[in-house]
Amino acid sequence: IMEGLEKAGYQTRFGGILEDDVIAAANRLEGAAEEGYGLIITTGGVGAEDKDCSIEAIQRLDPNAQTAWILKFKPDYHRHHKEGVRIALGRMGLAYLIALPGPHEEAKLGFNRLLEGMEKGLEDKDLAEYIACALTDRWHKIMKEGDNKHGLSRHR
């Protein structure tokens, strides 16, 4: 992501790893915005486990942040405490706050869609959906290929 940002003309700095704590993560994101960073991207922490708090950290800073679902399911309250996996796009002052999934291929795909959508001038809600749709399509493809590889069918 940093390499892609630099190729797009951004100056970058790795901000470290956020704690699995909403307040601590929000404070770090707020600090980056206050330092003057205009595009703050996190990867990971967007899942359905109770430790995943990137979405909530962004919503704490921007209650109107756009969140878009990648996957939705019923929580089992063992591992999954939330309704699914989503991304977030919020703003704090002039800074964009973006939460993408952590797995490498998903982060890369989400980042590429972010840049494409920004180049197209998409508004925040449309940009969040543009990113999430590509990630959802990837998951549908993986699930379909997984079923085919194992001779399974989702329709019984």
Q: Which DSSP helix (H) or strand (E) runs through 93?
A: none
Radius of gyration of the CA atoms of the chain, in A: 16
Q: What is the pLDDT of residue 148?
A: 53
pLDDT tens string for the chain (156 positions)?
A: 999 999 999 999 999 999 999 999 999 999 999 999 999 999 999 999 999 999 999 999 999 999 999 999 888 888 888 989 999 999 999 999 999 999 999 999 999 999 999 999 999 999 999 999 999 999 999 888 875 554 444 443
End-to-end Cα, the chain, rounded Å: 41
CA 142 to chain centre: 19
Rounded-to-integer distance, Cα 81 and Cα 63, Å: 21
Token pair for 123 = 């508004």
Burial class (CB in 10 A: 0-12, 13-18, 19+), 89: buried
β strands within 5-148, DSSP E: 39-43, 66-72, 84-92, 95-100
Show Cβ contacts of residue 127 under 8 Å, excluding neighbours closer than 6 positions.
66, 89, 114, 117, 118
Q: What is the structure's pLDDT at 152?
A: 41
Instruction: Enter the pTM of the model.
Output: 0.88
Detail the DSSP E strand segments found in the chain. Answer: 39-43, 66-72, 84-92, 95-100
Is the dihedral angle over the CA atoms 97, 101, 102, 104 positive or is it negative?
Answer: negative
